[in-house]
Structure 1
Amino acid sequence: MTQLQFNLDFEKIKDEVMKSDLNDVVKSSIVVLFNEYMEMERDRYMKNTTHERSENRHDYRNGYYERDLILNVGKVPLKVPRTRRGEFSTDIFEKYKRCDKAFLLSMLEMVVNGVSTRKVTKIVEQLCGEKVSKSMVSGLTKKLDPIVNDWAQKPLDQQYYNYIYVDAMYIKVREYHRVVSKAVYIALGVNSQDKREILGFKVAGTESKETWHEFFESLISRGLQPPKLVISDAHEGLKSAIMENFLNTSWQRCTVHFLRNIIQTMPKKGSKEAREYLKEIFKAPTEKISRMLKDEFIEKFEDDKKYVKAIETLDAGYEDAIQFYAEDKDTHIHIRTTNVLERLNSEVRKREGVIRIFPNTSSAFRLIGAVLMDCEEGMDPGKRKFFYRTTN
């Protein structure tokens, strides 16, 4: 009987399987190919073919056992060759693992993108007819720990970061049988090539000077140098920590938060003109024009008692809110607010909202870290930059 010779590129076949919409005929063909590939693997391990006598033999064939391989396109039943000593193993799946890596990574991706553990188990069952326990999905996410930890501790002495944005957001975590609020500190930097990088993050207690100080110290210990500008809101503890940790660095008060602070002191009715006037102060093309608009605002509304507090707030915080004018004009729209970090926070919120309450701090660190890593990959890829300078 003529024997068929297979020259298989396993990785290519596997890649095609992942992309295929398998029907029964194709699935049967894949079973034949995978089984033949494993037979070839055993021959290579044995250094001979079936019924061939060889002095180099160091083991004996011992039939087959049946095993299902779960792909992200369905379950494939295979006949796995074995040897008497039990030392042979196939490349198709790791020993004692029924799910291939691509399928596990697909499950992990669902979790990272905000699909709840319960929904993941249902999706897997619908796609593959195979039940996956919640504990398996939860255990799978722990595979992220070394990856997230390594990324979160990457050295920061390979680049100089001109601008750093910092902010804190709040999440709910279960701790000692209670649900408590935790702050997530995030730092985003723009390096000397005008590309964005996430410098670090931390899940800790409530926002305070001490916790901000610890966060900045952790960045500095990894090699971070004082930037030209730190952009943030006006949290008192944050401001103090910036001053103490980054000498010779200017602080840019986020103009969006600052305007909000001023407007909150103004009457809700009849203040539309004043609100529009305020916004133009920080949209001015130059510092000189901005100061002129500020003086005009004060002159126009200073005799109205309803705007006394607003004028006091504007006057007290104005200098901190116009530090961006010392930088290149092309950067102004990006560095006068923390909008870029707010968008990053919203991506975290999108995934975190599905979970609502993290079971512990470690799980919060794991998921938020994975989301931030995913976001960073899409930031300024290739030759793209965060801002393009037209001035010298």
Structure 2
Amino acid sequence: MSKSKREEKSAELAKQILENYQPENVEDMQNALKDIFGPMFESMLKGEMNHHLGYESNDKAEKTTENRRNGYGKKTIKTSSGEVDIKVPRDRDGSYNPELIPKRKKDVSAIENKVISMYARGMSQRDISSTIEDIYGFSVSHEMVSDITDQVLPDLEEWQDRPLSNCYAFVFVDCMYTTIRNQYETRKYAVYTILGYTIEGEKEILGLWLNETESKHKWMQIFDEIKARGVEDIFFLSIDGVSGLEEGARAIFPEVIVQRCMVHLIRNSIRYVPSKDYKAFTKALRKVYGAPSLKACLSAFESFKQQWAAYQGAIDVWTRNFSHVEQLYDYGSAIRKVMYTTNAVESVHSSFRKVTKKGAFPNENALLKVLFLRIRELESKWEGGHIQNWAMVMNQLLLHDELKDRVLKYLE
């Protein structure tokens, strides 16, 4: 990692600690760091014990095997932030010898950053194994690494089933594809992601879903699920244009305003444009969907059609979908700026690709663990922040007659 990236990550971590703990002195800062390290070490030791015994806690095998869990022992380890008390799992016959933090080892200050890196960046089993070998000088199997990282699965399951807010002002949906290896063959899987903006202007990823393809039927199941988890109303839904998605969303949320993404329409239309004309073509389009008023938009569109008449296929894309362009001008400029594109959720997928680009995953859980860890990192960055210019967005929502009552209902 370059020096500048390390500095950026250090600054981000410092900001989060300051916001969440509000330390007033050096001692407060050290206590905040200790709060982070202790649970991480304990979670990894529980994974080690699972691997040692060959089954998880509360598994039926617990009752039929001679060697079982036998509570916890206390241990104080020395870190660069001071001493941290942790609970170390024990087994009945005393054969469990922790490898991550050996019995006589108390100083673990050299590995803290590496442990955080493994959990926060969603490293592959191979990379985690290599990191542990680099730290301790011994190798561990991929199965053991899987056991250790499986400790996040209960958190993932709880996160997937958690209750959601009753209202989201804006929701953005999109799919990305990644590869899962099934024995000797690999298959592309669609990762469905929903990003919501709450009425308070905070970002939230509502959930992750996997399917072998992207389809309107799967999207309908997902919308039905989030409704069951507490979502009563969605004001605006930005989509990429999957066939049937608009109708499916309205079947679950009848009052939702569905907006086609302008960026996707651009991508669809430039298929009919020679590459030498891309720049001029997209510049002319920006004058259409970025016009200050509907009148200016209509005028720009007429000029656009005349200027690019040679590329009728491209013009047809915009003609068929022009109602979604006109719809933008039913709302104020601050609202238009939020709803006109799905770039917000595509940015999330861009972050996902950083941890999925290394190759195929052995199963769905392996993929979901990595994505969940990435989500926790993203949401820690978003915590306490608001969408840019959110106050103006709210003012414009309240000025709109059809939305005012719905907004006030959820502000109370």
Q: Using the alignment, how far apart are the partners of 1:274 and 1:106 within structure 2? A: 48
1:116, CA displacement in angstroms?
A: 2.6
- What does 1:1-392 correspond to in 2, within 5 Å? 15=34, 92-96=86-90, 98=98, 99=100, 107=115, 109-110=117-118, 112-156=120-164, 158-270=165-277, 272-302=279-309, 306-354=310-358, 356-379=359-382, 381-382=383-384, 384-390=386-392, 391=395
Change (3 A) 1:321 1:142: farther
Deviation of the 1:271 alpha carbon: 6.2
One-letter amino acid of the counterpart of residue 353, structure 1: K
Quote the Cα distance in structure 1 between the aligned partners of 2:369 and 2:236: 29
| TM-fit CA distance, 1:15 | 4.2
1:371 aligned partner, one-letter code: R
Return the offset for 1:130.
4.2
Corresponding residue SS for 2:191 = strand
Whole-Å separation in 2 of the counterparts to 1:333 and 1:197: 19
Q: Distance in 1 between matches of 2:168 and 2:316?
A: 34
Partner secondary structure for residue 303 of structure 2 = helix
* Aligned Cα root-mean-square deviation (Å): 3.3
Are residues 152 and 323 of structure 1, via their aligned partners in 2, closer, same or farther at CA, if it must alter by over 3 Å?
farther
CA–CA distance in structure 2, aligned partners of residues 182 and 383 of structure 1: 32
Q: Decide whether the 8 Å contact of 1:331 with 1:387 is kept in 2.
A: no
| Alignment TM-score, normalising by the size of structure 1 | 0.70
What secondary structure is seen at the aligned counterpart in 1 of 2:209? strand
AA aligned opposite 2:213: T
TM-score (norm 2): 0.67
Deviation at 1:187, TM superposition (A): 0.4
Q: 1:387 to 1:148 in 2, by over 3 A?
A: farther
Task: Return the alpha-carbon distance in structure 2 between the equivalents of residues 68 and 195 of structure 1.
Answer: 40
What secondary structure is seen at the aligned counterpart in 1 of 2:272? coil
Report Cα offsets for 1:161-187 as digits up to 9, x if no partner.
Answer: 011000011111122532111111000
**Aligned counterpart, 1:78:** none
Which one has a bigger Cα radius of gyration? Answer: 1
1:284-329 CA deviation, whole Å, 9 max, x = no partner? 2223322221122124444xxx222222221111112443333332
> After superposition, what is the alpha-carbon deviation per residue over 1:23-65, rounded to whole angstroms, capped at 9, x for unaligned?
xxxxxxxxxxxxxxxxxxxxxxxxxxxxxxxxxxxxxxxxxxx
Asked if 2 retains the 8 angstrom alpha-carbon contact of 1:254 and 1:321, the reply is no
Hey, what's the Cα distance between the residues in 2 that align with 1:72 and 1:321? 57
For 1:92 and 1:195, locate their aligned partners in 2 and report how far apart those are by CA, in whole Å.
34
What is the DSSP-based 3-state SS (H/G/I as helix, E as strand, rest coil) of the residue aligned with 2:255?
Answer: coil
The residue identity in structure 2 corresponding to 1:95 is P
Partners of 1:212 and 1:241 within 8 A in 2 = yes
Q: % of aligned pairs identical?
A: 25
Q: Structure 1 pair 126/222, CA: closer, same or farther in 2 (3 Å)?
A: same
Name the CA shift for 1:141/1:272 in 2 (closer, same or farther; >3 Å).
Answer: closer
SS in 2 for 1:234: coil
Farther off after superposition, 97-106 or 261-270: 97-106
Closer/same/farther in 2, CA of residues 217 and 267 from structure 1, 3 Å limit: same
**For residue 360 of structure 1, what is the amino acid of its counterpart?**
N
- Check 1:271–1:137 CA distance in 2 against 1; reply closer, same or farther (3 A cut): closer
Distance 1:353 1:70 in 2: 36
In the alignment, is the contact (CA less than 8 A) between 2:122 and 2:374 conserved in 1? no
Q: Is the 8 A contact 1:190 1:196 kept in 2?
A: yes
Query: Using the alignment, how far apart are the partners of 1:382 and 1:328 within structure 2?
Result: 26
Q: Aligned partner of 1:280: which letter?
A: K
The amino acid that maps onto 2:152 is L
What is the identity, as a one-letter code, of the residue corresponding to 1:94?
Answer: V
Report the Cα distance in structure 1 between the residues aligned to 2:113 and 2:144, rounded to whole angstroms.
13
> Within 2, Cα distance between the matches of 1:177 and 1:200?
30
The structure that is helix-richer by fraction is 2
CA contact (8 A) 2:177 2:190 kept: yes
